[in-house]
């Protein structure tokens, strides 16, 4: 069983299967052409079954053509069934164990959005806090949802 399978199962109770890898094709590149546009990945691989896409490639997002493109850890449909997370921005200057700890929190955050949760403003240790591209926020979080977020999940 993979690390993320175990994490998702222990946090949400879902049984996860690891699907064969899917390609990130050039048409999924962001406007900068240097990284992938997460919304294009979601659109291409949107699934009727819950699907967590994991990539080692850098992903970015821009909300519209007039907005700047910015690097992200993950993106999701809210609510929805599909989300994508990238290890690219989680691994710099840290051990694999630390990267995995971050990946777990980012993945559980995106799945929370799939389940309809908005960002949390109540507790800085809650995984539903908006990271806004800062790894410091992810590192501040625990593998934990605050009471208010857990109540919304039910």
Q: Which stretch binds Zn ion (CB under 5 A): 11-19, 46-54, 100-108, 140-148?
A: 140-148
Q: Which one among 30, 52, 108, 126 touches Zn ion, defined by CB under 5 A?
A: 126
Angle at 44 between CA 49 and CA 61, to 5 degrees: 110
Q: Which stretch binds Zn ion (CB under 5 A): 20-28, 48-56, 84-92, 127-135?
A: 127-135
> Both tokens of residue 128?
């539903």
Q: Which one among 72, 120, 138, 141 touches Zn ion, defined by CB under 5 A?
A: 120
Question: Is residue 138 a contact point for Zn ion (CB under 5 A)?
Answer: no
Question: Is residue 30 a contact point for Zn ion (CB under 5 A)?
Answer: no
69 classed as catalytic? no
Question: Is residue 107 a contact point for Zn ion (CB under 5 A)?
Answer: no
Question: Is residue 108 a contact point for Zn ion (CB under 5 A)?
Answer: no
Question: Is residue 128 a contact point for Zn ion (CB under 5 A)?
Answer: yes
Residues of this chain that interact with Zn ion (CB under 5 A) are 120, 126, 128, 146, 149
List, by residue number, the catalytic residues.
Answer: 110
């Amino acid at each position: 069983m993979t690390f993320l399978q175990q994490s998702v199962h222990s946090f949400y109770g879902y049984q996860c299967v690891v699907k064969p890898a899917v390609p990130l094709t050039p048409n999924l590149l962001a406007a900068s052409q240097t990284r992938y546009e997460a919304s294009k990945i979601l659109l291409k691989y949107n699934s009727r079954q819950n699907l967590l896409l994991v990539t080692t490639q850098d992903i970015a997002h821009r909300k519209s053509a007039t907005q700047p493109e910015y690097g992200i850890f993950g993106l999701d449909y809210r609510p929805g069934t599909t989300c994508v997370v990238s290890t690219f921005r989680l691994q710099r200057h840290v051990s694999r164990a630390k990267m995995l700890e971050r990946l777990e929190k980012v993945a559980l955050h995106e799945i929370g959005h799939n389940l309809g949760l908005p960002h949390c403003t109540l507790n800085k240790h809650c995984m539903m806090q908006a990271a806004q591209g800062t790894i410091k926020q992810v590192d501040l979080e625990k593998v934990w949802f605050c009471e208010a977020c857990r109540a919304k999940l039910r």
